[in-house]
Structure 1
Amino acid sequence: MKISLISLGLLLCVSSSAMAIGLNAEQGKNTSALDAEIGRSSGGLYLDSQWIKNTADGVQIGQAGTGYNLEIGPVMLTAGAKATYIGGKKGDNGVAFPVGGGVKINLPADFAIYGEGYSAPEQLTNSVKNFVEANAGVSWSPLGPLVLKVGYRYAGVDGKDGRPGHTLIDGPYIGGGLTF
């Protein structure tokens, strides 16, 4: 275990010469989210973690993930995997291991559009038939490390063992963060 953590750390250091650390917060009508990441804004390997809460009904999602960013001019393509804890309210508490990816397109005047999606079929979950999440929006970096965002986030599950499918997180948000 100790050797694999050291190996992962070495891979992260070698994968990109300038790995930025980012901290972000988002707020929607019924959602709050916190995100911490290393290397997400540059090409190569990255680490990412999130905590998202539906403030209307108490549903929570906690995630830790890793992936790879490929920069092609103003476009950043991402492929990754996450370990996700689902703290649902309808008997679907458990874990999922979604895989997916995304794209970010840098635009003039420090704007960017982004979108990503992840899914975990029944074979990669222990409490639901399927876990799906998506996030898309527009970001703006008016000053050096500051990033402002507006977007839409969705997360939902298909129930299993007679439990219904339902939405965990759904709605627009505004957010901001620092990357240094």
Structure 2
Amino acid sequence: MKKIAMVGLLLACGSANAISISGQAGKDYTHIGVGIGTETSGLAMNGGWTHNDDDGDAASLGLGLNIPVGPMLATVGGKGIYTNPNYGDEGYAAAVGGGLQWNFANSFGIFGDYYYSPDSLSSGIDSYEEASAGARWTIMRPITVEAGYRYLNLAGKDGNRDNAVADGPYVGVSAGF
């Protein structure tokens, strides 16, 4: 009976999910992302790759649950991350976190999220920390422009320095289908 209920829940959550593709550019970094169901309640998947010439790369695949909270959409979830810092060893991290998004007008919204992985859930780095916040404007469906601040740090381990893969403002564009 539990299996049938779980399958029903998964099908109900996945029925109205849309796909989005995004690109962001900051002063010293770029980020490419993809999401499924990130703007509706229910299950959501996301993936991303952040690159910095001086500090390395981080690629992630995440799963979350979006829950409506009044006019906002709250997300709780986790990410599996491949880390490749320029100063240190490549490895992995398993981060937990979440975020909030609030679409307060037909085409405007604000958002923020935070994910963290301690040393016990990572290898090659001491810890993983990622945060972003910003605002979105949907010009005309499917095109949305975005501006915000992204922080992604791979804390050094075994005498290696920290690698701030992203730390600064960015502008971006996304398409949702």
TM-score (norm 2): 0.90
SS at match of 2:157: coil
| Structure 2 CA distance for aligned equivalents of residues 158 and 28 of structure 1 | 20
Matched, 1:153 2:150: yes
Q: Distance in 2 between matches of 1:176 and 1:107?
A: 19
Q: TM-score, normalised by structure 1?
A: 0.88
Find the aligned partners of 2:92 and 2:9 in 1 and give their Cα distance.
26
> Which range moves more in the overlay, 95-104 or 122-131?
122-131
Contact 2:86–2:163 (CA<8 Å) still a contact in 1? Answer: no
In the alignment, structure 2 segments of 5+ residues that lack a partner are: 1-5
| Cα contact 1:92–1:159 (8 A) shared by 2 | no
Q: What's the offset of the Cα at 1:9?
A: 9.2
Q: Pairwise mapping of residues 17-166 of structure 1 onto structure 2 (< 5 A)?
A: 17-54=15-52, 56-57=53-54, 59-166=56-163
**TM-aligned CA distance change 1:50 to 1:10, over 3 Å:** farther
SS class of match (2:12) = helix
More strand by share: 2
Q: Which position in structure 1 is the counterpart of 2:11?
A: 13
Maintained 8 Å contact 2:55/2:87: no
Give the secondary structure class of the aligned counterpart of 2:139.
coil
Separation in 2, partners of 1:66, 1:29: 29
Give 1:12 deviation, angstroms.
4.5
- Separation in structure 2 between the aligned mates of residue 79 and residue 165 of structure 1, nearest angstrom: 27
How many positions carry a matched residue from both structures? 172
